[in-house]
Amino acid sequence: MRRLYFLLPTVDSAKTIVDELLLARIEERHIHIAAADHHALTEANLPEASLLQESDFVPAVERGLAVGGATGILAGIAAVTTGGLALAGGAILGIGLAGAGVGAWISGMIGISAPSTRLKEFEDANHAPVAIVKGELRRDVKPGETVTIAAESSDPDGDELTCRWWQYSDADSARATVIIGNSESPEQASFVVPDEPGKQVHIILEVTDNGAPPLVGYQRVICFIKGN
């Protein structure tokens, strides 16, 4: 059975994926979540990976079986050809099996104390930035008011960030197109509220890191236009 690996940015996204897998009738015993923060997985009631999944135990045992078995068989053949011993095929096979067992045991002891080589591939992976808008995400505004919006975003890898503010017109109930001044500034972006009382304007903060590949984070501000 092949194991599929997914790199997820947050515990919430992991929970969503697990729910989808369960709905697809994949049993929980086949789902294993690994994270640096084990406490967060416990709090979220997610199926946590065991030591066997987080260590290199299984691949090490497989390597030990192959190397130990091959070494045992070669040793048996060498004893016959160079030492003059008369060993039947069954005896050589037995030596091979013994070698496989010893190899698996030694490799398993080493592997269980080493981190999984498969999980190690994800340690240097880029992680999505966290887009954070300063202040309330749901705001009451007035027609003609100048609204200033600012960000205090972060990146888990310490990458450099660029930001962009844009109007999510598909979600707006207001018909007007909002012009956002300094739309690429994390501190100085602003817009004038259109004269459409009772309507809403949705503004998106988009944050992009300079990792490989570049990843993006989003957060939305909803402005409720009140009467004058």
DSSP codes of every residue in 42-107:
HHTT--B--HHHHBSHHHHHHHHHHHHHHHHHHHHHHHHHHH-----HHHHHHHHHHHHHHHHHHH
* Position 125 in a domain: no
186 and 203: one domain? Answer: yes
User: Of 111, 129, 152, which marks where a domain is finished?
Assistant: 111
Peptide bond into 9 cis (omega under 30): no
Could you tell me if 214 and 146 lie in one domain? yes
Judged by phi (left if over 0) then psi (alpha if -120 to 50, else beta), residue 28 lies in alpha
The whole-number mean pLDDT for each consecutive block of 10 residues of the chain, a chain of 228 residues, reads: 74 87 88 78 81 58 51 49 47 50 48 59 81 95 96 92 96 95 95 96 97 92 90
Q: Does residue 102 sit in the same domain as residue 31?
A: no
Residue 209 within a domain = yes
96 is in which domain, residue-wise? 57-111
In this structure, are 45 and 61 located in the same domain?
no
Which pLDDT does position 35 carry in this prediction? 76
The Cα 166–Cα 55 span in angstroms is 45
Q: Which residue has the tokens 């011993």?
A: 85
**Would you state the pLDDT for residue 84?**
46
What is the number of structural domains in the chain? 3
